[in-house]
Amino acid sequence: MENLIIPIHKQIKITALLLFCYSDYVRTKDYKGGTFNSISYNEGKITTDRINTKSDASVSYVLPAKQGQVLIVDYYKKTKILELHFEKLN
């Protein structure tokens, strides 16, 4: 039982990370089209990101990629071209 006691002078730092992502359609003065949004909470700070996904592509997908990035896949049906590119999130 003595080994389970933690001295008061030793503090344990607890960090939490929460990430929420969603797609939306926006109509504003500056932009009208699809967006990919992310809201993250890390060590007491809240950050938001918005990536505009409007393009001339027939179909667009947003997929998870490396840490801190998403993969945008655009398919152009008329020319049969598949375009892939990474977008960085904060």
Assessment of whether the complete model's pTM goes beyond 0.85:
no
Mean pLDDT over 75-83 rounds to 93
59 band by pLDDT with thresholds 50, 70 and 90:
confident
Cα 50 vs. chain centroid, distance in angstroms? Answer: 8
Q: What is the DSSP letter of 7?
A: P
Mean pLDDT over 79-90 rounds to 90
Mean pLDDT of the chain: 83
Residue ranges of domains in the chain: 14-88
Contact at 8 Å (CB) between 70 and 85?
no
Report pLDDT for 81: 93
57 band by pLDDT with thresholds 50, 70 and 90:
confident
Report pLDDT for 1: 52
d(CA 83, CA 74): 5
